[in-house]
Amino acid sequence: MGAGIAGLGASYTLWQRGEKSVILEKDNTYGGLCSSFEINGFRFDRFIHLSFSKIAQVNDIFSKVEGGIYRHAPNPSNIYKGKWIKHPAQNNLYVLDEDEKNAIIEDFKRRPDASTAKVNNYEDWLRLQFGNYFAEHFPMVYTRKYWMKEASELRTEWAGKRIYQPSLDEVIAGSKAEDERITYYAKEMRYPKKGGYQHFLSIMAEEADIRYRSEVRHINPLERIVRTTDGQVYSYNRLISSLPLPEIVSMIDYVPDEVGKAVSKLEATCGYHVSIALKTKNIPPYLWWYIYDEDNLASRVYSPSLKSPDNAPEGCSSLQMEVYCKEDEYSEQELLDKTVGKLVEIGIIKQEDILFTHLGFEKHANIIFTEPIYEARKIVRDYLISNGIQTIGRFGEWDYLWSDQSLMSGLGIL
Ligand SMILES: Cc1cc2nc3c(=O)[nH]c(=O)nc-3n(C[C@H](O)[C@H](O)[C@H](O)COP(=O)(O)OP(=O)(O)OC[C@H]3O[C@@H](n4cnc5c(N)ncnc54)[C@H](O)[C@@H]3O)c2cc1C
């Protein structure tokens, strides 16, 4: 169930073994979150999507993409109080005013001793890594925007490798001049020259038997039957699901209370990608940038046309902004005013350059690492396994998986 990258990976493995499989997919294309869409000659992905995989099996599949691959050096940036700060901000403070630099450095010096400090949650971890001032003005604000939670509500296991932790010397040096090293955790970002991120998956999709517009709505594990919203009934020998755990559980009758309680503790972010088509190439040179300012609802912005010029018509460019919020939290106009409107307000793009904007909502984006996650997801997955349903992918494993890890989750089915 699901023709995202995990479902395609599972079907690819079965195909290589000579076993027959059918994928039921609710959309009219493959790729799930890794798919791309086109409007008037502009192509957008569903959120940023660049590959920085170190997994040979994944790179082998991606390298076969027709048309070749662009390899970008990561050059992210940040916007803070309307100013550009090179990423990561913690070791590139040189653009801030002296008072703020001093406040950050003094608090950095006052960090508790890491060997004895007690870290109960992500907020404690941030204060320990960066000191109070930086933690409160940068990552704690960003957490609210990106994770839809306070840092104190999150666990820390997912954070370590993803966030650069500079030494005091690096912070001081970066407060005087730009840190020219690439300290981002990935050194090369790959993207198909043609067809958007989805094109990386085309080799697997070609071999798959995908039934599009087939939304699964009911599963009877005893009779081994799946029903779709269009009235089709499929019987199976084996069921593999990449659907979000809460959704799949809701499709089964008579779920034990313990599982129902566990599933209610699983939380994920949801939100919009706000796509912008521009008639000039007049956009910032960064593949992506983070926005710390809270008056702008977007947490991140990236450029599809910088990932590949094939994503925009000749002479044009594009951006996409990422906003995490409930589906009905803002009206469309409010969303546009507080994202695109803010970019115009601070002079990053010009209103007269905008050809069109587009809002796309994703019900599941990132798994949120709140306290009960590990125990709750184990209860749910064990229950599904005991009913003969194997779960894969970001929302089937309920984990912070990049596309390569989601792919491996599918390719690795036994
Ligand atoms: C904001 C953001 C940025 C990201 N950036 C990157 C990045 O730069 N690089 C990277 O490697 N990874 C990135 N990822 C991670 C990547 O998107 C995921 O790891 C991957 O797409 C998950 O694939 P999946 O197949 O597990 O799930 P999905 O892509 O969600 O696939 C599930 C499929 O199931 C289908 N489905 C759902 N319900 C039903 C139903 N009832 N019946 C039938 N079909 C159904 C869906 O339509 C979908 O096709 C990012 C993710 C997010 C949210």
Q: In the predicted model, is pLDDT for residue 183 greater than 70?
A: no
Asked which of 151-155, 185-189, 255-259, 263-267 is least confident by mean pLDDT, the reply is 185-189
In contact, 262 and 375? CB cutoff 8 Å: yes
> pLDDT over 90 for what percent of the chain?
90
Q: Is the CB of 406 under 6 A from ligand 1?
A: yes
- Ligand 1 nearest atom to the CA of residue 269, by list position: 53
* Ligand 1 centre distance from Cα of residue 401 (Å): 9
Q: Could you read off the pLDDT of 64-75 as tens digits, one per residue? A: 999 999 999 998
pLDDT band at 10 (very low <50, low <70, confident <90, very high): very high
The torsion angles phi and psi of 173, rounded to 5 degrees, stand at -60, -40
Cα–Cα distance for residue pair 59/54, rounded to 1 Å: 7
* Ligand 1 centre distance from Cα of residue 16 (Å): 23
Q: Could you read off the pLDDT of 123-182 as tens digits, one per residue? A: 999 999 999 999 999 999 999 999 999 999 999 887 766 677 788 999 999 999 877 766
Q: Is the CB of 393 under 6 A from ligand 1?
A: yes
What's this model's pTM, rounded to 2 decimal places?
0.95
Ordered structural domains, the chain, with CATH: 5-69+191-263+373-411 (3.50.50.60), 88-176 (no CATH), 268-367 (3.90.660.20)
Q: Is the CB of 51 under 6 A from ligand 1?
A: yes
Cα–Cα distance for residue pair 137/407, rounded to 1 Å: 36
Average pLDDT over residues 96-123: 92
DSSP string covering 135-165: HHHTHHHHHHHHHSS-GGGS-STTTGGGS--
Residue 8: what pLDDT?
Answer: 98
SS3 17: coil
Q: Could you read off the pLDDT of 48-59 as tens digits, one per residue? A: 999 999 999 999
* Ligand 1 centre distance from Cα of residue 173 (Å): 40
Take atom 6 of ligand 1 and give the residue whose Cα is closest: 49
Residue 166: what pLDDT?
Answer: 84
Residue 184: what pLDDT?
Answer: 67
Q: Is the CB of 273 under 6 A from ligand 1?
A: no
The torsion angles phi and psi of 395, rounded to 5 degrees, stand at -95, -10
Q: Could you read off the pLDDT of 237-255 as tens digits, one per residue? A: 999 999 999 999 999 999 9
Q: In the predicted model, is pLDDT for residue 187 greater than 90?
A: no
> What rounded mean pLDDT belongs to the chain?
95
Cα–Cα distance for residue pair 2/21, rounded to 1 Å: 12
**Which DSSP symbol is given to 67?**
T
**Tokens found for residue 50:** 């660049």
Q: In the predicted model, is pLDDT for residue 414 greater than 90?
A: no
Average pLDDT over residues 359-387: 97
Residue 157: what pLDDT?
Answer: 82
Asked which of 87-101, 110-124, 154-168, 346-360 is least confident by mean pLDDT, the reply is 154-168
